[in-house]
């Protein structure tokens, strides 16, 4: 197999959730040739279903596939497969305000390879699971610890794509942080050990006055779809947004810090611990985080008019 993997995906079928069969020498099992995505379906008040920017997930998977030497379904195929899967599982979507349906598309090298090479065959599948609200009572702050030794991504590596190996790289630091009572880990760049990168499964923003700063996309952090959406929302709410190198020292003077991601939506950071020193942010639920959370979730749940055409409605 060559790396300019053309190839086409034929339409699959809906199956009951269960184990799948895989060749022991499948590319994904041996050489980590796998990508995934994550998005949510929300129930509207009228019972219809809303997807949030699914074509962005399709495009991110395409970009990732290119880096991982894999073919990928077209944007149309991806979105159609998501719609079909969601509609077939519509009875599992919680009522509005009670959670959402988490959608997990997977793309993997399923064909057999022995020597290191891209797999000769690929499988795309989607599974779903209802999830509760990440925050039981609206917003609840998370406590982060800055990791100084372990890194999730290196320049030129695969940190900018949603490949399975990136998540294996964070398990050790994340487990250690959780065992010490922290919610999650904040990673630094591995060259200077000074600039903020992201959290294990979300992007990070630092608020100072009217300026909201976030690490720029430069190949080592995941280009979050929530990140991109929050940048637009914040600008439309009159904030100045800066995508740049954000030093870990800026956490000390920040008014607020928050994280964004499909799972966490907008999650205020209550405290960050760095080299044994803890910085706390008021009661942990900043005004700006609260405002952006509210604007975004109202859009995602169909409670606000979707002037940007970000949602796809299924009935």
Site for ligand PMP, rule CB under 6 A? 38, 198, 201-203, 222, 224-227, 260-262
In angstroms, the CA 313 to CA 315 distance is 7
Beta carbon nearer to ligand PMP, 201 or 289? 201
* Catalytically annotated residue among 44, 162, 218, 278: 162
In angstroms, what is the minimal distance from the CB of 187 to ligand PMP? 9
Q: In sequence order, which residues have a C-beta less than 8 Å from that of residue 47 and are 6 or more positions away?
A: none
Which two tokens mark 262? 């499909």
**Nearer residue to ligand PMP within complex by CB, 143 or 201:** 201
Which is nearer to ligand PMP, 9 or 134 (by Cβ)?
Answer: 134
Nearer CB in complex with ligand PMP: 60/119: 60
Which residue in 107, 104, 37, 106 sits closest to 70, CA to CA? 107
DSSP code for 193: S
**What is the smallest separation between the CB atom of 263 and ligand PMP, expressed in angstroms?**
7
Report residue 168: phi and psi, to 5°. Answer: -65, -35
Beta bridge partners of 90: none
Rounded Cα gap, residues 240 and 214, in angstroms? 11
Report the alpha-carbon angle 61-66-70, nearest 5. Answer: 85
Decide if 236 contacts 264 (C-beta within 8 A). Answer: no
Give me 245's structure tokens. 């190198």
Would you call 162 a catalytic residue per the annotation?
yes
> What is the number of other CB atoms lying within 10 angstroms of the CB of residue 73?
23
- Nearest Cα to 250, choosing from 188, 182, 308, 299? 188
Whichever of 143 and 260 has its CB closer to ligand PMP, that residue is: 260
CB of 264 to ligand PMP, least distance (A): 8
Nearer CB in complex with ligand PMP: 5/201: 201
With beta carbons less than 8 A apart as the criterion, state whether 48 and 313 touch: yes
Q: Residues 14, 88: contact at Cβ < 8 Å?
A: yes
Q: How far is the CB of 115 from ligand PMP (least distance, A)?
A: 30
* Active site (catalytic) residues: 162
């Amino acid at each position: 197999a060559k790396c300019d993997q053309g190839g086409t995906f034929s339409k699959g079928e809906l199956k009951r959730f269960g184990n799948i069969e895989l060749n022991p020498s499948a590319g994904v099992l041996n050489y980590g040739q796998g990508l995934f995505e994550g998005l949510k379906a929300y129930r509207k008040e009228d019972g219809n279903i809303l997807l949030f920017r699914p074509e962005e997930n399709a495009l991110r998977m395409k970009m990732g596939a290119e880096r991982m030497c894999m073919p990928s379904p077209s944007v149309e195929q991806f979105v159609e497969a998501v719609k079909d899967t969601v509609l077939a599982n519509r009875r599992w979507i919680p009522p509005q305000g009670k959670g959402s349906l988490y959608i997990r598309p997977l793309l993997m090298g399923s064909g057999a390879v022995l020597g290191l090479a891209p797999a000769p065959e690929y499988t795309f599948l989607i599974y779903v699971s209802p999830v509760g609200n990440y925050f039981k009572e609206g917003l609840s702050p998370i406590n982060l610890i800055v990791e100084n030794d372990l890194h999730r991504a290196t320049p030129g590596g695969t940190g900018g794509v949603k490949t399975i190996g990136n998540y294996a790289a964070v398990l050790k630091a994340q487990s250690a942080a959780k065992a010490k009572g922290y919610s999650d880990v904040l990673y630094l760049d591995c060259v200077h050990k000074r600039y903020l990168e992201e959290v294990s499964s979300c992007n990070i923003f630092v608020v100072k006055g009217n300026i909201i700063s976030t690490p720029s996309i430069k190949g080592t952090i995941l280009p979050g779809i929530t990140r991109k959406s929050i940048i637009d929302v914040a600008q439309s709410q009159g904030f100045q947004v800066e995508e740049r190198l954000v030093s870990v020292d800026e956490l000390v003077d920040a008014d607020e810090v928050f994280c964004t991601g499909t799972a966490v939506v907008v999650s205020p950071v209550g405290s960050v611990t760095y080299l044994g020193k803890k910085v706390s942010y008021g009661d942990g639920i900043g005004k700006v985080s609260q405002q952006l959370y509210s604007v975004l979730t109202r859009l995602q749940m169909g409670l606000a008019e979707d002037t940007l055409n970000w949602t796809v409605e299924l009935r």
